[in-house]
Amino acid sequence: MSQAPTTPDTPGGEHHGDPAAKATPEGSDVAERKTPRKLTRAEQRAVDAKTRLASPWASGVAIVLAILWSVPTFGLLVTSFRPEATIKTEGWWTFFSNPEVTLDNYNGVLYNPSTDFAGAFLNTVVITLPAVFIPVSLALLAAYAFAWIDFKGRGMLFVAVFALQVVPIQIALIPLLQQYVSFGLDGSLWTLWLSHSIFALPLAIFLLHNFMMDIPRSLIEAARVDGAGHVKIFFSVLLPLLVPAIASFSIFQFLWVWNDLLVALTFASPDIQPLTLKIQNLAGSRGAEWQLLSAGAFIAMVVPVVVFLALQRFFVRGLLAGGVKG
C-alpha cells in the first residue's frame, strides 16, 4: 500500500491547512470567543425593537411630542396662579414678561363653602374605587371561564361580549336611567358604580382573556395533575401572572371614571356630584368666574398623575406582555 505524500510545509509534517492540527485547547477557546452565539427569534426581535426605539429620529420625535403634550398642562398651571384681571385680559404666555402670582384662585376653589370642592373630591374617590374594583373582579372570572372552561356556546358568547364594545354608551343612558328608577336606585351611588362597570366589562373581559390565553397551557395542566381545582388554579397559578394586565386595565378604568362627565351628568344627584360636575359649575351660570376653572382643573389632575406614575412599571409590563413571543 502506498502512503499519502506529506507536504514539508513545516518540520514534523505539520499541516497549516489541516483544522485538526489547530484544535488546541487555547485555539478552541479563541474560536469560541470569536464566534457569536446565534440569537433566538425572541431575542432578535427585542434587539431590533431596541435599535429602532433608540434611533436619534425616534428620540427626537418622542421629545417633540412630549413638549407639545406638556405645553397645555404648563399653561394651565401658570394660569391657575395668575390674578383674575390678568387671566381675563392676557394669555398665559405673557406671564414671563409680567410674572404676577397669587393663590386667590386656589383659595376660591378649596375654601369657598359654595363650591364644596373638598366634598366633590371625596365623592370622586368614593365613585372611582368601586367602579374600578367591580369590573376588574367580574372580568377576571369571566375571562377565566372563556379561556379555560369548556362549555357549550363559549365562542358565540365571547363574540357577543366583544361586539358590545362598539355600542355607544350614549344610547344606553336613558334606558339605564329608566331601569334604575324602576328598581329604586336613582339618586344613589349604585347608579354610577353599575353604569361604569357595565360600560367597562366588555373591554376588560376581552383584554384579560387575551392575557390569559398567552399563559402556557402546561402550567394549567400541571396544576390539574396535582389535584388543583378551578379556584386553586385561578388564585394560585393565574392571578400572580396577571398582575401587569390587571394594573394596566385598572389605570385605564381609573382615568376614565375619574374624568367622566357624561355618566355623572346623567345619574349623579346633587349631593354626590364628582369633581367633573363641580368644575363645570365653577364658571357660574354666566361665565363670570371662569378664572377658577384652571385651579379646579389642576387640582383634579393631581390624583390621576400620581396613580399613573406609581403604577407605571406595571402599566408598561402589561402593554408589552406577549409582544415578544418566541
pLDDT tens digit string along 54-81? 677 878 888 899 899 889 888 888 888 8
User: How many Å apart are CA 205 and CA 142, to the nearest integer?
Assistant: 6
The amino acid at residue 127 is I
Query: 215 and 206 in contact (C-beta within 8 Å)?
Result: no
Residue type, 5: P
Q: Give kind and range of the element (H or E) at residue 240.
A: helix 239-241
pLDDT of residue 137: 94
Q: Residue 93: count other Cβ atoms within 10 Å of its Cβ.
A: 10
Quick check: 18 pLDDT over 90? no
Which has the minimum average pLDDT: 112-121, 125-134, 314-323? 314-323
Q: What is the dihedral of CA 117, 123, 128, 130, to 10 degrees?
A: 170
Phi then psi dihedrals of residue 285, to 5 deg: -70, -25
Q: Is the dihedral of CA 223, 224, 227, 231 positive or negative?
A: positive
- Residue 44 pLDDT class (50, 70, 90 cuts): low
For residue 279, what pLDDT band results from cuts at 50, 70 and 90?
Answer: confident
For residues 291 and 51, give the distance between their C-alpha atoms in angstroms, rounded to a whole number.
Answer: 47
pLDDT at 193 over 60: yes
- Supply the angle between the helices 312-320 and 243-258 in degrees, to the nearest 10: 120
Calculate mean pLDDT across residues 235-264. Answer: 89
Please give the pLDDT value at position 35.
55
- How far is it, in rounded angstroms, from Cα 104 to Cα 46? 52
| pLDDT over 90 at 131, yes or no | yes
Portions of the chain given CATH number 1.10.3720.10: 117-320
Question: Which residue, 254, 239, 247, is CA-closest to 143?
Answer: 239
What's the CATH number for 117-320? 1.10.3720.10
- Residue 299 one-letter amino acid: I
Three-class DSSP category at 186: coil
CA distance 271 to 123: 9
Residue pair 119/184 in contact (Cβ under 8 Å)? The answer is no
